[in-house]
Amino acid sequence: MSGRALLMWDEAVTQYDFGSEHPMDPVRLALTMGLVRAFGLDRAVDVVAARPAGDSTLRLVHREDYVTAVRAASADPRRADQAYGIGTVDDPAFAGMHEASALIAGQSVGAAEAIWRGEAAHAVNFAGGLHHAMPGAASGFCIYNDASLAIARLLELGAERVAYVDVDVHHGDGVQAAFWDDPRVLTISLHEHPRTLFPNTGWPEETGAAGPGEGGAVNVALPAGTGDAGWLRAFHAVVPELIEEFRPQVLVTQHGADTHFEDPLAHLAVSLDAQRAVQEACHELAHAHADGRWLALGGGGYAVVDVVPRSWTHLVGIAAHAPVDPASVIPSSWRDEVYARTRQLGPARMTDGRWPVGFREWSAGYDPADRLDQAVLATRKAAFPLRGLLP
């Protein structure tokens, strides 16, 4: 197995563009790659571009009629069929939509193939993590579900256990749905509570299909306003124990940066430093329980200058075994690029000033009157016994 990580990158992924009024601005991808280069991380990884996902690959998860509908809207956005979730406010049709979406999916699938074949231990596709797309519909800014496609390809190649951990602020509903009744896949999602945020799913009681799939889905629904200490406490109270029990052959993680306190579309209060801490924890879990096989994806994140590039550059550095010191000053060349592209001033350092981030371990006890602890306990009670673990 190669010791160098892969960074999946093709400039054309920035053509995944819903328009100037849409919050998912592809400048976030360009600025992330620019910051990766500014820190020299492109020399610490192998930067590669995979082929777009073809129809046979897309059909591992998506219905043929849906792919046909995406192609039609891609050729002529006026033909978008809203019955498939295309041409809506969240998912406007745009020319080249199929091609851009298939390219992003292809990067995640190609990364998964390389990891499974031993060509790399770690791979990052920060353009990916489009976790809301359903088998037959677009949803939540997501056309093709690259995370599900990567997992499905791993299963096709012979993987028997794949774990998926999603720390985006929104529930990883599309990935959960794709593997709802498949005991080979364990999905774990930590997200803002469905009472207060799209897609209004991800309740602790959602634990997988009755029968072999039961216990295959785990959901931690966090109260709005959860900050660093609570977010890290919830992660460590749930994820490591489940991963240790499941013993995945590959760990796939989704690192939406929209948990951040500056994000305009959600209500958690997590810092860049806590996001980095969870990225490090996922890296450690992959080495401890998945033989080092780790595919890390991007996801949401709509503070496209201040947050997303810094968060995902940390992710690349961790995967490359060349972590960026949070105290690092951001190179002025990148800040010049930010201004040239956005007419905004970029951040000066790779920290929000909260590193290292502390939290209280679950093993130290819990407070039944605390809303965060109530959320964690609800998840443990609903899901842990189904996996033979104590709540």
Q: Which residues are catalytic?
A: 132
CB contact at 8 A, 245 and 213: no
168 Cβ contact list (under 8 Å, min separation 6): 129, 131, 189, 191, 254, 255, 256, 258, 259, 299, 300
How far apart are alpha carbons 152 and 59 in whole angstroms?
10
Residue 42 to residues 30, 35, 45, 178, 284, Cα–Cα distance (Å): 14, 10, 6, 33, 22
Structure token pair of residue 229: 């200490």
* Residue 209: other Cβ atoms inside 10 A: 15
Calculated CA dihedral for residues 361, 366, 369, 370, nearest 10 degrees: 10
What would the DSSP string read from start to end of 93-149?
--TTHHHHHHHHHHHHHHHHHHHHTTS-SEEEETT---TT-BTTB-BTTBSS-HHHH
What is the radius of gyration, based on Cα positions, of the chain?
19
Give the strands of the sheet with 185-192, arranged side by side.
46-48, 6-8, 122-125, 294-297, 250-254, 162-166, 185-192, 217-222
Side-chain half-sphere CA neighbours of 83 within 13 A = 7
CB contact at 8 A, 6 and 108: no
For helices 332-342 and 27-38, the axis angle rounded to 10 degrees is 160
> Residue 252 forms beta bridges with which residues?
164, 295
Question: What beta strand segments (E) does 193-320 contain?
Answer: 217-222, 250-254, 294-297
Structure token pair of residue 389: 């673990």
